Copies of this chain bind each other. A is one copy, B any other.
Amino acid sequence: MPENTAPALRPRTAAGVHPGKPGSQSALRQRNQQRILSALATGGPQTQAELSRQTGLSSATVSNIVREMNGNRLVITEPTTSSGRRALSVRLNDTGAVAVGIDIGRRHVRVVLASLGYRILEEEAVPLPLGHCAEEGMDAAADLLAKLLGQAGVDRAAVLGAGVGIPGPIDRRTGTVVHGAILPEWVGINIREALAERLGTPVHVDNDANLGALAQVTWGPHRGTDNLVFVKVASGIGAGLVINGALFYGHLGITGEIGHATVSEHGVVCRCGNRGCLETVASTSVMIELLSRGAGEPIQTADIVDRAAARDPATLRIIDDAGLAVGRAAANVANTLNPEIIVLGGSLTGLGDTFLAPVRRGFIRHCVPLVGESTQVLMSSLGDRAEALGAAALVLGRHGALLG
C-alpha cells in the first residue's frame, strides 16, 4: 500500500464540498482511515501495532492517521503496554458524532442514524403518498430524523451531516434532480439547500443507485472491492458504479443510466424521451402494469413477491422476462467495465433466486465469455436498506475526506 504523504486539511464547515477525487491522495487517505475505523469497529480497542498488522498499513501511516483522528475526536488513545513495551491503545470515540442517511423513494422515506464506528443507532421507514411533492417528502424526512435523534438521545449538534438518496440522476453542477427522474415532482429543486435548511446540517445529495453501490462496499459483504456495480431495479432502473474503490460520477454525475439503454427500437415511449428503454420492459412499474391488466385494482410491488412465491405462471413469466433484460444490460456494463462483482438490489430483492436466476442467464448470454465467467452476480443482502445505509456512508466517508 503506498504511503500517504500529503495531508491536505480542509475545513469541516464547508458544506457541500466535493470529496477528493478518487485516486487522489485525499481519497487514498480516506480509504486508509476507513480501514482503521473498520478495524476498530470490528476488532475493538487495539494498539497501533495491531492496527498496522490488521490493516496492512505501515506503522507510520497508522500513527499519522490515528493522531489526526484523535485530534478530531474520532478515536480515543491511551498509553498501554504490549509485550512489555510501551504502546498506544486506540478505541473508537463511538458517541462523538452521528451521520444521517436518508433514502427518499416514490412511496417511502427511510432514515438511519449511524455512529462514527459504522454502527446503526436508529433506523425507520415511513410511507409517502405516491406523487408526493418535494416539500412533503422533505418534511417527512425532517420529522423522522427529529424522532430518531430523540430516541437515540443524540443532540442535533452532534450530527455530522446527512446523505440523501434520490431515485433520479443528479446534475452535480447544480445539485438538482435532472429531468427524467422517477420523482418528476422533484425535478429542478435544489434539494441540497432545501433539506440543509430543514435538517440544520450539511446535506449531500446523490443518486440512490450510487448510494446502494457505496453501501455494498461499506456495510455489505463486499467491503474493499475495487470495482463493483450495483444495479437497482425498482420503479426505475439504474446502476451505481464503484471504480477503483470510490463512487464514480463521470463528467456531470449522470452515470449508470442503464435503465435507458434501448432494448426495443420501436418500443413504448420512456419518461426520458427515448423509446423502448430497459425501464419500459423491466421496471417494477411495468411489471405491475402488466400484472394489473384485467384485475379489479392495481397490485403492489409486494404482491409480485407474494404471487411469485405462490408460483403464479404469469408473474413468473414476467419476472423471467425482466430478469433476462436486466441481465443483458448488466452484461453490457460488465463488458465495458469488467467489475469483480455485480450486485442486484431494489424492491425485488425479496424474490431471491426467482429473479437472480434469469438475470444471471441474461448476463452470461450477453457477456464476452471471460467476463461472464469471472464476474460474480449476486443479490444484495442489504435489501431495501442499502440506499439509506449508503447515504450514511457518504457522510462518514466525506467526514473522513474532510479530515484528510
Q: Which residues of B contact A3 (CB under 8 A)?
A: 22-23, 226, 244
Chain A interface, >50% SS class: loop
Chain B CB within 10 A, most for which of A21, A246, A257, A340: A257
B23 near A252 with CB under 8 A, answer no
Nearest residue (CB) in B for A225 is B251
Quick check: A180 and B339 within 8 Å, CB to CB? no
Chain B neighbourhood of A245, CB < 8 A = 23
B23, A58: Cβ atoms closer than 8 Å: yes
A227-268 with Cβ < 8 A to chain B: 227, 239, 241, 243-246, 248-258, 260-262
A262, closest chain B residue (CB)? B366
Say which residue of B258, B274, B337 sits within 8 Å of A250 (CB atoms).
Answer: B337
Tell me if A169 is interfacial: C-beta within 8 Å of chain B.
yes
Would you call A255 and B336 a contact (CB within 8 A)? yes
Complex Cα spacing A253 to B260, Å = 26
| Interface membership of chain A positions 328-340, coded 1 if the CB is closer than 8 angstroms to chain B and 0 otherwise | 1000110111111
Residue of B nearest to A340 (CB): B251
Q: Closest CB-CB distance, A398 to chain B, in whole Å?
A: 16
Q: Which residues in chain A, 364-391, are within 8 Å of chain B measured between CB atoms?
A: 365-366, 368-371, 374-375
Instruction: Name A60's closest neighbour in chain B (CB-CB).
Output: B23
From B1, B179, B249, B335, contact of A257 by CB (8 A): B335
A332: which B residues are within 8 A, CB to CB?
Answer: 261, 332, 336
Q: Indicate if the CB atoms of A179 and B369 lie closer than 8 Å.
A: yes
What is the bound-complex CA distance between A58 and B328, given in angstroms? Answer: 47
* A191 adjacent to chain B (CB < 8 Å): no
A194 CB within 8 Å of chain B: no
Q: Report yes or no: B366 in contact with A239, Cβ–Cβ below 8 A.
A: no
In the bound assembly, the distance between CA atoms of A248 and B22 in angstroms comes to 13
The 4 closest A-B pairs by CB, nearest first: A250-B338, A257-B335, A2-B22, A1-B23
Query: 20 other contacts beyond A3-B23, A252-B374, with CB at 8 A cut-off?
Result: A2-B23, A21-B244, A169-B368, A169-B370, A178-B370, A179-B370, A180-B370, A226-B251, A248-B337, A249-B338, A250-B338, A251-B338, A251-B375, A253-B338, A254-B370, A255-B337, A261-B335, A261-B366, A336-B336, A337-B337
Interchain residue pairs with CB less than 8 A apart (8): A3-B244, A241-B337, A243-B248, A251-B340, A252-B338, A254-B370, A255-B336, A261-B366
Interface residue ranges, A against B (CB under 8 Å): 1-3, 21-23, 58, 169, 171, 178-180, 226-227, 239, 241, 243-246, 248-258, 260-262, 272-274, 328, 332-333, 335-340, 365-366, 368-371, 374-375
